[in-house]
Amino acid sequence: MIRVAIIGASGYTGAESIKILLQHSEAELTYLTALPEECGAVEDIFPQFKGRCPMQIEPLDLGKLSEMANVALCCLPHKVSMGFVPKLLDAGLKVVDFSADYRIKDVGVYEKYYVKHTDTENLKHAAFGLPELFREQIKGVNLVANPGCYPTGASLAIAPLLKEGLIEIDSIIVNAVTGSSGAGKNPSEKFHFPNMNENLFPYGIGTHRHMPEIEQIMSEVAGQNTTVLFQPHVGPFDRGILSTVYCQPKGKIDNEQLQKLYHDFYDDERFVRVCKNAPGVKDVAGTNYCHIFPAVVKGMVVSFSAIDNLVKGASGQAIQNMNIIFGLDETLGLI
């Protein structure tokens, strides 16, 4: 039985991780931590767990951690995470890190979008945890950088085309709409119900931090430098990201060829389903699945993907990664 700690358990990805792990037959939650002011009984912090999880969320004690757990899901925010991950590794744990801190391989790019990187050593050895694209690199590592929600949905949507070199790599536009849970637990003006309800708006225009992450993944899959125009929006629903990805194919391609290409690429993947129709975010809400539908429109490829930003876009994928690094059936807890 894997013994799992969640570092930063008081936020939405913490709650979602707890929920999944309660269903996991070969992992048990053993230790939950958060900032002192966010500690307390799980069922007081998340009423959904009343009677389901009798644990406490406690301030992090590294000694206790190393006794209690052999893997940590590190749900800390960007910039904070890299201050803790080295300690978690030193304490002998394997780590799946939810932040961006170990995702961007190019330190210069990271530092442009975030801050100075303080743990470049571990960064070098971290695997990028998108199993459907980089599974072999994940197996057996001690540190997995769990991908961002947008990069997951966007990359899966066109990976088969990138892999086969079928598209112009400077033609990619990712238009995405996320649900509001992506904003996290802290109240803000934008996500105040009377503002967010009945609303839909773009944000992060030209500056969203997931842009370089998307480019890194796509470049790696394509085997060459790939640029992406990424534009996120947020809509009045809790969960889900719909990515609509536009790109220019190099040659002529039709819908039948697209379907075949995608099925060949994904049919062995449990969590990616190639669909006959366009997916909606509700189809995948609460699941670790990614539904994809590629189509040819006026000579362009338009590929749609839907994921749950908290599951395949965060906690579900993290546990998928955890299963992989422990050599377990990848789907445990997730079906």
**Crossing angle of the two packed helices 149-163 and 131-138, in degrees rounded to 10:** 90
CB of 276 to a copy of itself, least distance (A): 9
CB of 185 to a copy of itself, least distance (A): 7
- Using the minimum distance from each CB to a copy of itself, give the nearer residue, 68 or 278: 278
Candidate ranges 28-36, 78-86, 144-152, 289-297; the one touching a copy of itself (CB under 8 A):
289-297
- Using the minimum distance from each CB to a copy of itself, give the nearer residue, 55 or 229: 229
Selected from 100, 284, 307, 319, the binder of a copy of itself by CB under 8 A is 284
The CB-side HSE value for 180 (13 A sphere, CA atoms) comes to 20
Q: In the range 211-250, which residues lie near a copy of itself by CB under 8 A?
A: 227, 229, 231, 233, 235-240, 242, 244, 246
Candidate ranges 74-82, 137-145, 265-273, 317-325; the one touching a copy of itself (CB under 8 A):
265-273
Please work out the total of residues on this chain that contact a copy of itself, with binding judged by CB under 8 A.
73
Q: In the range 130-169, which residues lie near a copy of itself by CB under 8 A?
A: none
CB 243 within 8 A of CB 305: yes
Residue 297 engages a copy of itself in binding (rule: CB under 8 A): yes
Candidate ranges 58-66, 99-107, 122-130, 299-307; the one touching a copy of itself (CB under 8 A):
299-307
Q: What is the rounded CA–CA span in Å between residue 106 and residue 147?
A: 15
Longest Cα separation, the chain: 61
Q: What is the rounded CA–CA span in Å between residue 241 and residue 253?
A: 27
Q: What are phi and psi of 85, to 5 degrees?
A: -55, -45
CB of 81 to a copy of itself, least distance (A): 22
CB 17 within 8 A of CB 333: no
Q: In the range 163-202, which residues lie near a copy of itself by CB under 8 A?
A: 173, 175, 177, 179-181, 183, 185-189, 191-202
Candidate ranges 120-128, 134-142, 218-226, 267-275; the one touching a copy of itself (CB under 8 A):
267-275
Selected from 16, 65, 271, 330, the binder of a copy of itself by CB under 8 A is 271
127-128, strands of its sheet edge to edge: 40-41, 56-58, 27-33, 2-7, 71-74, 94-97, 143-145, 127-128
Q: In the range 19-78, which residues lie near a copy of itself by CB under 8 A?
A: 22-23, 47-48, 50-52
247 catalytically annotated: no
The CB-side HSE value for 117 (13 A sphere, CA atoms) comes to 21
Q: What are phi and psi of 63, to 5 degrees?
A: -65, -50
**Catalytic residue from among 75, 149, 247, 290:** 149
- Using the minimum distance from each CB to a copy of itself, give the nearer residue, 187 or 223: 187
Q: Which residue matches tokens 């395949």? A: 312
Selected from 72, 76, 95, 302, the binder of a copy of itself by CB under 8 A is 302
Q: What is the rounded CA–CA span in Å between residue 306 and residue 316?
A: 14
Selected from 41, 80, 253, 300, the binder of a copy of itself by CB under 8 A is 300
CB of 304 to a copy of itself, least distance (A): 6
Q: What is the rounded CA–CA span in Å between residue 65 and residue 286?
A: 29
SS3 179: coil
What's the per-residue H, E or C state across 201-269?
Answer: EECCCCCCCHHHHHHHHHHHHHCCCCCEEEEEEECCCCCCEEEEEEECECCCCCHHHHHHHHHHHHCCC
- Using the minimum distance from each CB to a copy of itself, give the nearer residue, 164 or 283: 283
CB of 284 to a copy of itself, least distance (A): 7
Would you name the residues annotated as active-site residues?
149
